[in-house]
Amino acid sequence: MVRELTHFIGGKQVPGASGAHGDVHDPGTGRVQARVPLANRAETEAAIADAEAAQEEWARWNPQRRARVLLCFLRLVEAEREPLARLLSSEHGKTVADADGDLQRGLEVVEFAAGIPHLLKGEFTDSAGTGIDVYSMRQPLGVVAGITPFNFPAMIPLWQAAPALACGNAFVLKPSERDPSVPLRLAELFVEAGLPPGVLNVVNGGKEAVDTLLEDPRVAALGFVGSTAIAEYVYTTATARGKRAQCFGGAKNHMIIMPDADLDQAADALIGAGYGSAGERCMAISVAVPVGQETADALVAKLVERIGGLRVGPSHDPDADFGPLVGPDALERVRGYLDLGVAEGAQLVVDGRQVNVAGHEGGFFIGASLFDHVTPGMRVYREEIFGPVLSVVRAADYEQALRLPSEHEYGNGVAIFTRDGDTARDFTRRVNTGMVGVNVPIPVPVAYHSFGGWKRSMFGDLNQFGTDSIRFYTRTKTVTSRWPSGVREGASFVIPTMG
C-alpha cells in the first residue's frame, strides 16, 4: 500500500493542493512506498504567512521558556527513537544503526541550542563615557527557512531548526522529497513538546517551493545543504534580495596517509569513512592519498582485503555494513562514474557493480568500489561521486600530498594519519580546507563548535551550529544609554566621543 504524505502547517497535517506529487521509494526493493505532495507557490506562501503570524508571540517567550520546549522535544524523540530510526532507514536506505546516528548528531545540536539563555546574553560596558552605559542584545530575524538534503533527513533539519527556533524565529523547512517522513514527524514532536502551532512549518516541494522561499520578502534568511551548483544558485539568489544565506555544497574529502601511519588503523578508517552510508555523506572520504609507493602498495592490499569482507544488504539487516543508494538516479550516476573512471585510465581494483543482494534484485544496491592510480586530471577525482567509491591518488612526498586537497575546488573536510606531531601540526595549519582531522577520518565537529567547509563547499560567512548559528539567526542591537542628572549642558555640534 502506498502511503499519502502531507505538509505540516499551523501545527497540523495539511494535504497537498497543487496536484503534483513525487515518489518516495523503498531503496531496498525499488518499489514506491509513498507519495509526497509538491507545493506550489501559493501553498508555500501560505506556510510563510502562517509562520509570520506565529513568530511575534514566540519571540516574546523568554529564552528559558523556549529552551524548555527543546528539552521536552529531546525527551519525546528519545521515547520514539527506534521507530524514527527505522522510518528514516526505510526511506533513505542507510542501515538502522546509521540512521540512529543521524538522529543522534541532530539531537546534539538541539542540546546545544537548549543553552540559549546563555548564548543570547549580550555585552555590557559600564561608564563607557561619563554617565553613559553601552549594551548589546541579540534579537531574532523573524521568519527563516531551511532547504535540506536527502542524505541526513534528521540531522541537518535539526542543525538548522534548533538554533533558529531557540533564537525566537519561526522556521519553514523544505526537506528533501526523497525521504520526508522523518522531518514531518519531528515537526509534530516539536508541537507536542509545546512549540506554538505555526512556528515550525514543513512544506514539501521542488524548485517552485524553493524559489518561493528565495523570493518572498517575509523570509529573512535561508540555510541550504546540497550540491554546489544549487548551493551557489540559492546563495546568489537570496543575497541579491537582501537575505542572509548559508549554503553548503559538494565535497571531495581527502585522507593523507603518511609512511609512519598505522596502516591497519588507516585502512579501517578509510573503509568506514569511504563506504559507510553507501558513500552518501558530504563528509565521506572519497580520496586516499598514500605518501610513497611502498605505503601505497601496502595500503591498497589492506583495502582490498577489507572490502572483500564487507556485507551489503537491506537497511533492516543488522549484519549489513551499508545499504542501497537512495534512488534509481543515484545508482545510475555511480555506475556512470565507474564506467568513466575506467575510460579515463584509472585501475578499477574492486568493481562494486557486480554485487547481488538475494531477494532484493530491484533495490538500488551497488558494492564498494576501489580505484587505484587516479590522477588529478580525471573527472572521477575532480567531481563528487556520492557513492561507495574510493579513489587512491599516489603522492611521491608530503608536499605533493598537501597540495592535492589544498588545490582542489572543494574544501569541506580532510584528514591526515600520522604518528608525527610536527607533520600533523604543519598540515593542520597549511591545508586549504575548512575541517581537518588528525587520525580522525570524518572530522565533523561537536555541536558547540561549528561545521563548514571552504572554497566551493560553502557560500556564506557563518557556519552551521555552534555559536556561528546564533549569530546567523539573530541580529545585534546596540544601546547607548544616559540618564542625565538634571544639569543642562546645551547643544553640542561636535561628534560625540567617550574620551
Exposed e or buried b per residue across 470-482, where buried means at least 16 C-beta atoms within 10 angstroms of its C-beta: bbbbbbeeeeeee
Q: DSSP readout, 85-148?
A: HHHHHHHH---HHHHHHHHHHHHHHHHHHTTHHHHT---EEEEEETTEEEEEEEEE-SEEEEE-
User: What SS3 state is found at 255?
Assistant: strand
In angstroms, the CA 12 to CA 319 distance is 38
Q: Which helix (H) or strand (E) holds 363?
A: none
Helices (H) and strands (E) counted in the chain, each on its own, are 16, 23
Determine the Cα angle at 62 with ends 59 and 64, to 5°.
125
Q: What is the distance between the terminal CA atoms of the chain, rounded to a whole angstrom?
A: 75
- Helix axes of 81-92 and 181-192: crossing angle, nearest 10 degrees: 160
Cell 531551511 belongs to residue: 146
Q: What cell was used for 315?
A: 537497511
To the query of whether residue 282 is one of the catalytic residues in this protein, the response is: yes
Q: What cell was used for 197?
A: 502551532
User: What SS3 state is found at 286?
Assistant: strand
Say which amino acid occupies 16.
G
Q: What cell was used for 53?
A: 503570524
In angstroms, the CA 248 to CA 236 distance is 13
Say which amino acid occupies 199.
V
User: What SS3 state is found at 463?
Assistant: coil
In angstroms, the CA 79 to CA 68 distance is 17
Q: DSSP readout, 176-217?
A: -TTS-HHHHHHHHHHHHTTPPTTSEEE---SHHHHHHHHH-T
**Which residue in the list 72, 167, 247, 282 is annotated as catalytic?**
282
How far is Cα of residue 8 from the mean position of the Cα atoms in its chain? 22
According to DSSP, the residues that pair with 315 across neighbouring strands are none
Cell 585502512 belongs to residue: 267
C-alpha pair distances (Å), 456 with each of 151, 216, 228, 410: 19, 26, 7, 5
Say which amino acid occupies 178.
R
Q: What is the CA radius of gyration of the chain?
A: 25
In angstroms, the CA 81 to CA 86 distance is 9
Cell 541579540 belongs to residue: 138
Q: Which residues are catalytic?
A: 282
